[in-house]
Amino acid sequence: MSRTVLVLGSSGHFGAQAARAFAAAGWEVRPYRRGSDMTAAAKGADLVVHAMNPPNYHDWARLVPEITGAVLAAARASGATVLIPGNVYVFGIEPAPWGAATPHRPVARKGRIRAEMEERFRDAAATGLRTILLRAGDFIDPDAPGGLFDRFVIGKAAKGVIATLGDPDAAHAWAYLPDMARAAVELAARHDALAAFEDVPFPGLAFSTRELAATVTRHTGRPMRIARFPWWMMTLASPVWELARELGEMRYLYDHPHWLDGRKLASLLPDLDMTPLDDVLARFLSRG
């Protein structure tokens, strides 16, 4: 039987990858047009992928709760399950590994906003709304240039430079989006066997900048120099550049070692294969 998914944020990194993955799995994919009636768009959908965020972290305190309310209303009206690509902001500086049982103790404003958003979906489970929260670290998107990884971290690899946004020896959680999107499809197909609110950490890849530099060196045969990201420039720009200000708030994530516990995902999807870092890098470095 054909299944229908409404993808909110289908032009974004996760939304676009999810749309491709669900289409490849035989789902009817319905992109949501921002600003249209979300409840009407969700009519007849089996699943709503909630990958919609204000661009460049714009006005999160006001807009994230508004979007959350619209998604909850649309899902309740349609009876659809909601799938959310969660992030790690809610954990603050709790010791890793981070999993479903890790306390939510955000240390940044955006972490508190996301924790409150998640709590609204968790509470809605008591009234019959089903949610799958697939939680991951920073995105690595091989199909859309301009992301954090390719723009800032390995953007100058061809010149022998890898940028570090914090402690070069601190492990950092990353999600290779084609893998994460496949996991989303597999979890959605098994939604009836999941809890009404299912928090699933996606382990993805975890590596330090120093480990990344060594791997790039092995691929290219060229020694990589680790350079500090110029946060001072972001600080200077923050009064007039909203994205610079908002990224600076999350700077702690690049100094605090963290990774996600993959045991729950492995128990739910034992046959899901993850793309190794070597293969991920080969795809980026082949672009020259």
Tokens for 250?
Answer: 């999350």
What is d(CA 98, CA 88) in angstroms, rounded to the nearest whole number?
Answer: 8
**Would you state the pLDDT for residue 1?**
55
| E-only strand ranges, 63-212 | 81-86, 131-135, 138-140, 161-164, 172-176, 197-201, 205-207
CA atoms of 252 and 263, how far apart (whole Å) = 26
Which residue from 31, 72, 32, 17 is spatially nearest to 183, judged by alpha carbons? 17
Q: Residue 3: what pLDDT?
A: 96
**Interstrand relation of 172-176 and 205-207 (parallel, antiparallel or unpaired):** antiparallel
Low-confidence ranges of the chain (pLDDT < 70): 1, 288
Sorted by where each begins, the domain ranges of the chain are: 4-138+175-203+259-272
SS3 69: helix
Res 237: pLDDT:
78
Q: What is the pLDDT at residue 239?
A: 80
> Left (φ > 0), alpha (ψ -120 to 50) or beta: where does 78 sit?
alpha
pLDDT at 234: 83
In CATH, what is the architecture of 4-138+175-203+259-272? 3-Layer(aba) Sandwich (3.40)
pTM: 0.95
